[in-house]
């Protein structure tokens, strides 16, 4: 489904590009019956391949640094555009190096969906550098107290793990509100996606034996809205949280979250209804070499988007 007016589909991350495949396939047939094998290719294999392929584009060999307008950033733009074009999209880049791709719906009255993401990265922190933890709180109520509680919790985690942490709060701005209906629809879609995710994971296990989960390093509490935590040394232990691989059973559950960080969605919120879908990172760590997302969790997110689009924009089923 796509654009009548407005900027149309704006793609910038592997997990999102796949959607073009899903939508294009759906447009060809009113009620496509995609086999589990096809769904596995579209919702599991391709997005994870795209993510890994993008993750290989870096200005610094051996680490991931793709800062805005750097050579790697430009190479990534080229690759994104080729993927979009191969999914049947018309693509262009604007003066701000935004990469755009658009698919026109056959129905000129069809609503416009806009998807957006960054494709630049922060400079790889490496040892002894700062990195940012993105920590989410469920709701924006009592934000300041929540942030203080988080800070206290984080200090305890750092002490327990003998990490040198310095905590500072970066963002206390009032939240941009997501559209409640979109949020409810996305939450519903996580429930609708459950059996699909279980089937995707079953396919994945058929195709390859599950890899052993990589050792976790730093831990973070999963509540609240705060940023900023340097993690100077690898911890002595490799304890993982109980649910760090929960996606492996196909138990996909959605919670409404508030993000403390700035996102492109803040801009979109000014022009249209906006909702965000977060893919969890191991131990909540992001913007760091320790950031890690499992292929299963990527598939849980793509399956949820797929369910959402089928239900709300394509076939009402």
Ligand X SMILES: *[C@@H]1O[C@H](CO)[C@@H](O)[C@H](O)[C@H]1NC(C)=O
List residues near ligand X by CB under 6 A: 49, 52-53, 56, 129-130, 181, 184-185, 188
Residue indicated by tokens 């196909």 = 250
Dihedral, CA of residue 53, residue 189, residue 23 and residue 292, to nearest 10: 0
Joined tokens for residue 4: 């009548």
Do residues 141 and 225 make contact, with C-beta atoms less than 8 angstroms apart?
no
C-beta of 59 vs 239, nearer to ligand X = 59
Residue indicated by tokens 């924009």 = 313
Measured from the CB of residue 104, what is the shortest distance to ligand X in angstroms? 26
User: Would you say the C-alpha torsion 29, 35, 39, 41 has a positive or negative sign?
Assistant: negative
C-beta of 102 vs 299, nearer to ligand X = 299
C-beta of 103 vs 186, nearer to ligand X = 186
* Residue-by-residue DSSP string for 205-258: HHHSPPPPPPPP-----S-S-EE-----S--S-----TTTTGGGGT-------E
Measured from the CB of residue 164, what is the shortest distance to ligand X in angstroms? 12
86 burial level (CB within 10 Å; 0-12, 13-18, 19+): exposed
C-beta of 49 vs 75, nearer to ligand X = 49
CA distance 106 to 158: 55
Q: Select from 75, 61, 136 the least CA-distant residue to 286.
A: 136
Measured from the CB of residue 186, what is the shortest distance to ligand X in angstroms? 9
Measured from the CB of residue 92, what is the shortest distance to ligand X in angstroms? 25
C-beta of 116 vs 230, nearer to ligand X = 230
Measured from the CB of residue 90, what is the shortest distance to ligand X in angstroms? 25
Measured from the CB of residue 308, what is the shortest distance to ligand X in angstroms? 9
CA distance 56 to 236: 29
Kind plus residue range of the DSSP H or E element containing 140? none
Q: 88: left (phi > 0), else alpha (psi -120 to 50), else beta?
A: left
Measured from the CB of residue 241, what is the shortest distance to ligand X in angstroms? 26
Residues linked to residue 135 through DSSP beta bridges, in sequence order: 226
Measured from the CB of residue 274, what is the shortest distance to ligand X in angstroms? 15
C-beta of 56 vs 152, nearer to ligand X = 56
Residues linked to residue 300 through DSSP beta bridges, in sequence order: none
C-beta of 8 vs 14, nearer to ligand X = 14
Q: Select from 91, 96, 52 the least CA-distant residue to 74.
A: 96
C-beta of 130 vs 148, nearer to ligand X = 130
């Amino acid at each position: 489904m796509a654009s009548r007016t407005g900027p149309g589909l704006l793609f910038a991350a592997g997990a999102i590009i796949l959607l073009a495949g899903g939508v294009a396939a759906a447009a060809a047939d009113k009620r496509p019956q995609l086999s589990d094998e096809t769904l596995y290719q579209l919702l599991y294999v391709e997005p994870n391949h795209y993510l890994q392929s993008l993750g290989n584009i870096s200005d610094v060999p051996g680490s991931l640094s793709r800062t805005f307008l750097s050579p790697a950033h430009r190479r990534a733009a080229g690759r994104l555009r080729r993927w979009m074009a191969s999914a049947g999209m018309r693509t262009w880049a604007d003066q701000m190096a935004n990469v755009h791709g658009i698919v026109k719906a056959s129905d000129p009255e069809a609503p416009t969906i806009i998807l957006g993401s960054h494709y630049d990265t922060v400079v790889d922190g490496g040892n002894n550098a700062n990195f940012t933890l993105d920590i989410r709180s469920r709701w924006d109520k009592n934000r300041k107290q929540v942030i203080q509680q988080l800070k206290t919790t984080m200090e305890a985690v750092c002490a327990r793990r003998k990490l040198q942490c310095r905590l500072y709060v970066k963002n206390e701005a009032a939240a941009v509100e997501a559209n409640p209906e979109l949020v409810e629809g996305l939450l519903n879609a996580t429930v609708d996606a459950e059996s699909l995710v279980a089937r995707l994971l079953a396919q994945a296990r058929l195709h390859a034996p599950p890899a052993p989960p990589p050792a976790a390093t730093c831990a973070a509490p999963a509540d609240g809205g705060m940023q900023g935590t340097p993690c100077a040394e690898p911890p002595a232990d490799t304890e993982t949280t109980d649910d760090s691989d929960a996606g492996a059973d196909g138990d996909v559950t959605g919670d409404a979250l508030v993000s403390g960080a700035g996102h492109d969605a803040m801009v979109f919120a000014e022009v249209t209804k906006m909702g965000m879908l977060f893919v969890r990172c191991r131990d909540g760590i992001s913007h760091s070499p320790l950031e890690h997302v499992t292929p299963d969790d990527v598939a849980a997110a793509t399956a949820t988007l797929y369910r959402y689009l089928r239900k709300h924009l394509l076939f009402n089923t």
